[in-house]
Amino acid sequence: MTRTPLTDHVTVEEMTDSHHGLDNDCPQALAGNLMRTAMKGEEARAILSAHAKQDCRLLGIRGYRCLAENNACGGSEFSAHMEALAMDFQPDPDLFELRAAWDVLRNHPTFMLDVDQLIIERGCLHFGLPTARHNFIPRHELRLDADVNGRRTYPLFGIWTAPHA
């Protein structure tokens, strides 16, 4: 199978794969967003690798979702995935549990500067970059998943603030 690299460790195929067998090709108009998101994924990988003092692979990468894919997987109607501005991944399980990787990223002095949301959701980490809906201004939301009366929710854990120099 031919893989089309976006970055050293992220491919177009990973970023556009459908869980549901749908045509989930990213529109050319969103190609720049897809690249930006892949580069942010590389940044997350580099930060996690530096923390672990060894290469931390990102597994199960998912990025862009067309409307049909987003609906099929139960995504928010305002999902940054539909603008190719979000990535879901699992950090190498031999190196990190989800919460530990989430903590490393949220506590890093620069990772969150341009991140709209960092969430533990559905067994993976999700970061979303700012979208048109929020005038491309990052809200810096930190969220964890929770089961409330049998319904999955993502309550706000806090708002990231830059560390003071």
Architecture category of domain 12-159 in CATH: 2-Layer Sandwich (3.30)
Identify the pLDDT of residue 163. 80
Question: Residue 101 in 3-state DSSP?
Answer: helix
Q: In this predicted structure, what is the pLDDT of residue 1?
A: 62
Is the separation of the CB atoms in 116 and 131 below 8 Å?
yes
Residues 99-156 have pLDDT tens digits of 999 999 999 999 999 999 999 998 999 999 999 999 999 999 999 999 899 888 999 9
User: In terms of DSSP H, where are the helices of 6-62?
Assistant: 12-16, 31-52
User: In the predicted model, what is the mean pLDDT of the chain?
Assistant: 95
Domain ranges of the chain: 12-159
- Rounded to an integer, the average pLDDT of 16-44 is 96
Instruction: Report the length, in residues, of the chain.
Output: 165
List C-alpha distances in Å: 79 to 1, 84, 98, 139: 29, 9, 21, 14
pLDDT of residue 18 exceeding 70: yes
Residue 162: which pLDDT band, with cuts at 50, 70 and 90? confident
Instruction: State pTM to two decimals.
Output: 0.95
Q: Which two tokens stand for residue 160?
A: 């990231």
Task: Give the gyration radius of the chain's Cα atoms.
Answer: 15
Confidence band of 34 (pLDDT split at 50, 70, 90): very high
Please give the single-letter amino acid code of residue 73: C
* Residue 165 pLDDT level (bands cut at 50, 70, 90): low
